[in-house]
Amino acid sequence: MTAGDPAYWDDFFQQNLIPVVLAHIVATWERMRKPAPGELEDKITLRLYSALVNRKDRSRHPFLIRYEDVEVDTDLAKETGRKDIVVFPGTLEEIYFCLEAKRLNAVVSGRKKALADEYVKAGMQRFVDAKYAKSVRHGAMLGYVLDGRTDRAIKNVEANIRARFQQLRMDPPGRLPPSTVMEHPLVKETLHRRSHETTPFHIHHLFMAGQVKMPAQGKKRGYHSS
């Protein structure tokens, strides 16, 4: 098995890279100033990226982290998207661990929005359609749960996964089970069978809590959209 073999990188990601990267992100997030309910995704991701790079123990990790890395179809010489945060374990451009960020339970134009549908349709689906991570078998979603209510966010995301399990190329009924690489209540993992390969593609999900605020007395906290 050589470094050009997808099976080599599948084993390497599963055993060496992903557990370290996920732990690095979780530990970094715990030390960060938490985002506010209306804070924009790009601003949060840039702060997270900066914190990941600047952490003092960063030198122990032999991987390269990049922010808003451009995805290019080299056959067409065409830009196909921008990946929020990417971890490169080596020198091969097509071998990377992509982290796609989406807000959950956010305030949008003065209204509370769950945004779980966007997490699934505009986030997870990009991995399933091989717009990201075409040459590898692992990717990740960063769910910024801006009101801190991670249980609600996970429940909403799972409901949207169940509603779209066929488009996501998942086995029914479409679940959001615990991670197989990291034991943590806010880290999940889903399996997908993409059209260009038979080996399952893994999406690792990290639900990261923002500022936790108690609801005003006598007021109900409702969310619009799914």
pLDDT of residue 3: 52
Arithmetic mean of pLDDT, 43-69: 86
pLDDT digits (tens, 9 = 90+) for 196-207: 888 999 999 999
130 touches 115 (CB < 8 A): no
Residue 193 above 80 pLDDT? yes
Residue matched to tokens 């086995």: 171
Residue 95 above 60 pLDDT? yes
Q: In this structure, which long-range contacts are made by residues 152-159, counting pairs with CB atoms below 8 Å and at least 24 apart in sequence?
A: 152/105, 152/114, 152/223, 153/104, 153/105, 153/114, 153/116, 153/207, 154/186, 154/188, 154/207, 156/104, 156/114, 156/116, 156/223, 156/226, 157/104, 157/116, 157/119, 157/120, 157/205, 159/116, 159/226
Mean pLDDT score across all residues of the chain: 88
Residue 218 pLDDT level (bands cut at 50, 70, 90): very low
pLDDT of residue 187: 98
Burial class (CB in 10 A: 0-12, 13-18, 19+), 107: middle
Burial class (CB in 10 A: 0-12, 13-18, 19+), 183: exposed
Looking at residue 32, what DSSP letter applies? S
Q: SS3 of 113, please?
A: strand
pLDDT of residue 223: 57
Domain extent listing, the chain = 6-209
pLDDT digits (tens, 9 = 90+) for 100-133: 999 999 999 999 999 999 999 999 999 999 999 9
pLDDT digits (tens, 9 = 90+) for 23-35: 999 999 999 999 9
In the chain, % of residues over pLDDT 90:
69
pLDDT of residue 217: 46
Matching CATH number, 6-209, of 3.30.379, 3.40.91, 1.10.20, 1.10.3470:
3.40.91
Six-digit token pair at 4?
């050009």
Residue 216 above 90 pLDDT? no
The rounded distance, in Å, linking the Cα atoms of 194 and 212 is: 37
pLDDT digits (tens, 9 = 90+) for 142-168: 999 999 999 999 999 999 999 999 999
